[in-house]
Amino acid sequence: MKPKNFLKVLIFCASFSFVFTACQKEISQKKETANSVDEASLKGISSFSSEEMNHIGLILSSDLAKDVTTLDAASAGCSAVITYSPAPDVYPRTATIDWGTGCTNGGVTRSGKMHIYYTGNLSVLGSKSVTTYDNYYINGIKFEGKLRFANNGELEGDKIVYRLTYKDKKTIQENGDYININGHARVIKKTGGAGFPGFPDGNFRETTGAEGYPLTYTYSTGGVITQYILNITSPLIYNEGCAWITKGVSQYTYGDGSIGVLDYGTGGCDDQATYTRYGVTTPITLTPH
């Protein structure tokens, strides 16, 4: 080989080695950063999801006063106040649940108000509820936006399938980080018929994707915004007496085309899940509702 050509090859190889090493380092950093950001946001989402099922249990409750008391019964002297406008036995009506300046049970502290507007009994086709929040917090996390729950007449066996709609639903951390969610999901409550047993009796199953609609998330932490689309590829199962999602798989599609998979396990009641993105699997400790 001529010296000049050898020098060209040497320069090329050195350049390639530098670029390859730099690329590998960038990919490694990307994986580390992504999984770190994902882990923080997913812990928030898992807590968010569990609390939603708690919330839906209240929406569907046949005895709201009793089931709200169940949420805070372990705290002596702690009790949410429920008021109705115009009255508890007419439709349409609004139920307001007021936890005051703070009510703690099982490590969960709620404060502020939740307003639930009902157009009719949710066991009846066409009925819906819309929930809004008034300075409402759970463990220091503020809730904003709207949650719509509707009976569109779809059945699965003897079970009613509800459409859950998020409209700028937002949870805001004390440091300003937030998660914003929009879109639709399907929720099925296991029950013996059209009536609803008192919460938390019965199980919930949530789906999207082929069975429903994707959900869009915007997650902001430290001023860095990440957007992704959620599809539930295996139904999320919420079981009576368990503080966590017990089974199911959620798939997150990010702006760069990458996919993250959150696996809640096979049905056991525990706080462990796994998250995989860029070929890296990270254990996630879930937050109870």
**27 pLDDT higher than 60:** no
pLDDT for residue 272? 87
Most trustworthy range by pLDDT among 42-51, 79-88, 153-162? 79-88
pLDDT for residue 219? 85
Indicate the SS3 state at residue 89: coil
Mind listing the pLDDT tens digit for each residue in 90-113?
999 999 999 999 888 767 788 999
pLDDT for residue 141? 87
pLDDT for residue 153? 78
Report the mean per-residue pLDDT for the chain: 75
pLDDT for residue 79? 77
pLDDT for residue 197? 45
**Could you give the CA distance from residue 71 to residue 79 in angstroms, rounded to a whole number?**
9
pLDDT for residue 286? 74
Q: Which two tokens mark 148?
A: 């719509």
Report yes or no: 160 and 154 within 8 Å, Cβ to Cβ: yes
**46 pLDDT higher than 70:** no
The backbone region for 263, taken as left when phi is positive above 0, alpha when psi lies in -120 to 50, beta otherwise, is beta
Window from 57-61, 140-144, 175-179, 219-223 with minimum mean pLDDT: 57-61
pLDDT band at 44 (very low <50, low <70, confident <90, very high): low
pLDDT for residue 20? 37
Q: Which two tokens mark 253?
A: 């599609």
What mean pLDDT is predicted for residues 75-99?
Answer: 86
pLDDT for residue 171? 87
Return the bridge partners of 141, or none. Answer: 138
DSSP notation for 116-172: EEESS-TTSTT-EEEEEEEEEEETTEEEEEEEEEEEEEEEETTEEEEEEEEEEEEEE
Closest CA to 226 of 84, 52, 26, 30: 30
Amino acid letter, residue 48: F
pLDDT for residue 127? 92
